[in-house]
Amino acid sequence: MKEKVLVIHGPNLNMLGKREPEKYGTSTLDEINADIEAHCRKLDIEVQAFQSNHEGTIVEKIQQARDDFDAVIINPAAYTHTSVAIRDAVLLLDIPVIEIHLSNIYKREPFRHKSMLCDVVTGQIAGFGIYGYVMAIDAVDNIFKAQARS
């Protein structure tokens, strides 16, 4: 049976390619999702991408992941630094969760240095641009393989 991965894109990521390309690059969210899907196909992983600008909608999607997915990759965007609700939703999961950021949040404004999720996720990837999503997929694939061996 194929593993299923949910990729959650947070607020303003629907504006990628238009929003601060010097920080986030010129790829659109549709292009990033196509790259994610292509990489997952190579690894025989089923993937679903989801984007919302609304905190409660993201919380609900994380809650649904508990029963429907084997791992979550989340770019919480601005909610990284503020959302106790998203943190609490992640705590409900007993599957791998990878936090991802296109930019290195630790090289940005001081208020961005704190992640509300970093201590409750499996791992964090930041600063590698869109390649970070491929790294996150590879990470969950390696976790799946390790679980299968044990």
In this predicted model, what pLDDT tens digit does every residue of 98-135 receive, in sequence order? 999 998 887 777 767 789 999 999 999 999 999 999 99
Report the candidate in 91, 94, 8 with the shortest Cα–Cα distance to residue 54.
8
For the question of residue 113 being annotated catalytic, the response is no
The pLDDT value recorded for residue 104 is: 87
Average pLDDT, the chain: 94
The CATH number of whichever domain residue 50 belongs to comes to 3.40.50.9100
Q: Report percent pLDDT > 90 for the chain.
A: 81
Catalytic residue selected from 9, 24, 79, 133: 24
Structural domain total, the chain: 1
Q: Would you say the pTM of this structure is higher than 0.85?
A: yes
pLDDT of residue 22: 76
Q: How high is the pLDDT of residue 24? A: 76
The side-by-side arrangement of strands in the sheet containing 71-75 is 46-51, 4-9, 71-75, 97-101, 123-126
The residue segments making up the domain with residue 102 are 4-149
Q: Partners of 72 in the beta sheet?
A: 6, 97
| Phi-psi category of residue 83: left, alpha or beta, with phi > 0 → left and psi -120 to 50 → alpha | beta
Residue 24 annotated among the catalytic residues of the structure: yes
Given the residues 9, 79, 101, 133, the one annotated as active site: 101
